[in-house]
Amino acid sequence: MNFETININQEGAILTVTINRPRKLNALSIKVLTEMKILLKTIREKNEFDIKGMILTGAGDKAFIAGADIKEMSQMNPREGENFGKLGQEVTTLFEALPIPIIACVNGYALGGGCEMAMACDFIYASQQAAFGQPEVSLGLIPGFGGCVRLLRFVGAGKAKELIYSGKIVGAVEAKEIGLVNRIFKTKTEMFEAAHEVLELMFTKSPIAISICKKVINAVDGENINDGLEIEKQGFRESFESPEKIEGVAAFLEKRKPVFNQSLIPTFQKRA
């Protein structure tokens, strides 16, 4: 299979999928998400690679994935924004639907949609250079690829709210402390070696038993997660309807700080 924005490399039973737009910090454009969806659906429907495990990573040394493509989002109306969110959510759900272990190997920024892709994998390994966050509120947006729902699952409601409301970016050590990251490695090479090693260990166990464990663990609160994803999809659309999205996204593209209207607090206004 040939793709323009993702590389795939198979070593034995392990498929490494690398998002390959390093000059744009591997931002998730419609093209990237569409290619990922095709790849994951092909693997799920006819395991043509005959793989037992996967690694997701990003090209270059600076980023795993720095989020959804902000330039593309700047051109989207609310309906297109909703469809974009749906596409991103579909990709995250496909990772969870694959009956094999999947590890996110994060070297550099895993922000917004990038953090969301990492959390759709089974667990996360990080290099010392890794940094995580859901900075969407800086853009007048909300996490739209399952971040509101899955960050809650990884770190609990309090930490999830602190990170999402503040848009704060945390390093690998703090990400491990709050339970987002399983292990930290000095170098990228050590991280990939450890990911291969743990997958090889898993390959000595029953693949059917592992696939059932994955289904059961992901099904805990599964219905709530599906409900949450639906609510998040509507919320993502709603954020595209707000003037704050226009300001936030324009500020990023113009490389300046956004100026948000602090007197605009819609819910309070409705209640008054």
Binding-site ranges for ligand CAA (CB under 6 A): 24-25, 27, 66-71, 88, 109, 111-113, 116, 135-136, 139, 141, 143-145, 147
Least distance to ligand CAA, CB of residue 140, Å: 10
Query: Would you say 56 or 139 has its CB closer to ligand CAA?
Result: 139
Catalytic residue among 96, 116, 232, 244: 116
Q: CB nearer to ligand CAA: give 44 or 71.
A: 71
Strand 102-106's sheet: what is its strand order? 6-11, 14-19, 53-58, 102-106, 123-127, 183-185
Collect all residues with Cβ–Cβ distance below 8 Å to 28 and sequence separation of at least 6. Answer: 19, 65, 67, 68, 69, 88, 113, 114, 117, 145
Q: Give yes or no: 72 in active site.
A: no
Query: Is 162 assigned a catalytic role?
Result: no
Min dist. Cβ of residue 213 to ligand CAA (A): 28
126: Cα separation from own chain's centroid: 14
**Least CB distance to ligand CAA at residue 89 (A):** 9
Q: Measured from the CB atom, is 35 or 69 closer to ligand CAA?
A: 69
Looking at 82, 96, 136, 232, which residue is catalytic?
A: 136
Closest CB 46 distance from ligand CAA, rounded Å: 29
Count Cβ neighbours within 10 Å for each residue of 94-132 and write b for 16 or more, e otherwise: bbbebebbbbbbbbbbbbbbbbbbbbbbbbbbbbebbbb
- Active-site residues, by number, are 116, 136
